[in-house]
Amino acid sequence: MKDAVDQLTPMGVMVLALLREGDMHPYEMVRLMRARRDDRLLTITNGTLYHTVARLQRAGLLDEVGVDREGNRPERTTYTLTDAGVDALVGWLRRELSRIDHPSDFRIALAEAHNLERDDVIESLRLRRNALVDAHASHRDGLAGARTKKVPEQVLVEFERQEVLLEAELRWLDSLLTRLEAAAFPWGPRAFENTDRYLAQRKAAQQ
């Protein structure tokens, strides 16, 4: 399972997460990703998505469940998520939520974190918090030391920015953890899949 997790790309993660919502064909995947503005997280092209689907199928993370055609439209192959695909998705999300050295992958993991159980998310984010505390302390102390040594401020602006961003993320993360630990905060894919908005979005993407 570790190899499958290591080989997953951000697009692969998005595809597996979509299939966890239900069986669908690549055309529907593309339309859903664009409707949900996932293009703010990664570049979405038909070619990249179809290539990703083929690679995930070869890896045994998804499988075909049927081919259909409506009217004069091209044939559409519908795919389903395998048990290995679920395991790879969950493993990747747990890993990337907890680490602070892959900021772009963290955005993907956070967008798809609802595919994990609440306790899994809390555990992974607490690991992330520990790493952020250490990184923030390192930047803060490094800046203080540099200023004591009269290092010119103009060469410290990037360190200063990073220290501020780390402090801000810690505040945001503490707020999120507080919400996650509250039973009143809905969590998980089942928390929204039957809403009118979700069902309408799925129907529109299937057209």
Condensed to tens digits (0 to 9), the pLDDT of residues 8-53 reads: 999 999 999 999 999 999 999 999 999 999 999 999 999 999 999 9
CA angle 198/199/205 to nearest 5° reads 90
DSSP string, 86-147: HHHHHHHHHHHHH-SS-HHHHHHHHHTGGGS-HHHHHHHHHHHHHHHHHHHHHHHHHHHHHH
Note the pLDDT of residue 203. 72
- Structure-model confidence comparison of residues 85 and 207, the more confident one: 85
DSSP state of 84: H
Note the pLDDT of residue 192. 67
Residue 75 binned pLDDT confidence (cut-offs 50, 70, 90): confident
Domain 2-111+189-205 has CATH 1.10.10.10: yes
Note the pLDDT of residue 201. 77
Residue 1 binned pLDDT confidence (cut-offs 50, 70, 90): low
Distance of CA 46 to the CA centre of its chain: 20
What percent of the chain has a predicted confidence (pLDDT) above 70?
Answer: 92
Note the pLDDT of residue 72. 63
- Span 142-168, average pLDDT: 96
> Across all residues in the chain, what is the average pLDDT?
91
Closest CA to 94 of 64, 63, 119: 119
Residue 67 binned pLDDT confidence (cut-offs 50, 70, 90): confident
The residue assigned the tokens 């664009």 is 34
Sign of the dihedral through C-alpha 131, 133, 136, 141 = negative
What are the tokens at 65?
């469940």
d(CA 192, CA 197): 9
Note the pLDDT of residue 71. 59
Give SS3 for 79. strand
Closest CA to 205 of 58, 61, 2, 18: 18
